[in-house]
Amino acid sequence: MDFQKAHGIFMHDHLSNRTGERRGRLERGHGEAEILFCQNIWWPLRGHFRDLHPQFEVLDWRGRSEMDRQKYGNELNRETFLSAMGYQVISFACDKGLLIPVTGSQGKHVVKYELHPYAAQCL
């Protein structure tokens, strides 16, 4: 199966399992950068979308699930909170990590090393 078809199925499955604002966030939030991550980093490494969540809802320190992508400060706070809660957060700047092939390759290696301890479980 090629990337376009697999990505379409992946998104359809996740959208069909969401309603209301959760669905709206996924529709609005899965844009060019997320597609480039899937295409240039995840797909070449894994060849499938099992165990990948396009929008993983995590409650913030206030007990709310807020995805405010417009404010850099809020995103930094979110990543710091997730890190403190034990989640591994890997951030890419779209223009650096996904669009430029050399840096995209660098991003691919970062994700590969982060997934390495779980590789046997994910296959």
C-alpha 87/C-alpha 78 separation (Å) is 11
**Spacing of C-alpha 46 from chain mean position:** 14
DSSP code of 41? I
> CA 76 → CA 1, 59, 71, 97, distances in Å?
36, 15, 9, 18
Q: Which residue has the tokens 């604002």?
A: 21
pTM of the shown model: 0.56
pLDDT at 78: 79
Q: Does pLDDT of 99 surpass 60? A: no
Query: Which of 7-16, 24-33, 61-70, 78-87 is least confident?
Result: 61-70
pLDDT at 76: 75
pLDDT at 62: 63
